[in-house]
Amino acid sequence: MSVAPLDKMVSYHAFSPDGKQCAVSKNDEGVYIYDTGGADDTSKWKQTQVVSEHGGQVSGIDWCAKTNMIVTCGHDRNAYVWKYEDSEKAWKPTLVILRINRAATCVRWSPNGD
């Protein structure tokens, strides 16, 4: 297996429900979206977008199987829910206020998509 497009350390990742996309954190403030094309070989993956609303390292990613939305959290004490906008062909964020005084280190969707 090649790791060509994933040249940095991967700290967190989540696959889309159909396995054709993957959201990756490379130990920085960005979330890198890849079109996997269903390939196991990462050298065949194509980066489609980088979303970078976080002001610190991304420390959690999850992809909801029911809604196809992504949730991320980070050391900036924020969480974002990302929804793909077909009209813009891009992932758009909604800020979720966590009201915590430390970094958010993990985030997961519930089984029913909440």
- For residue range 65-79, what is the model confidence (pLDDT) as tens digits? 999 999 999 998 889
Question: Do the Cβ atoms of 44 and 89 come closer than 8 Å?
Answer: no
Q: What would the two tokens of residue 81 be?
A: 């829910």
- Residues 9, 77: Cα–Cα separation, whole Å: 22
pLDDT at 45: 92
Rounded CA-CA distance 31/101 in Å is 23
Predicted pLDDT at 35: 95
Copy the structure tokens of residue 5.
């497009």
The position carrying tokens 């700290």 is 11
Q: What single-letter amino acid sits at 37?
A: G
**8 or 66, which is more confident:** 66
- pTM, two decimals, is 0.87
Mean pLDDT (whole number) for 21-47: 92
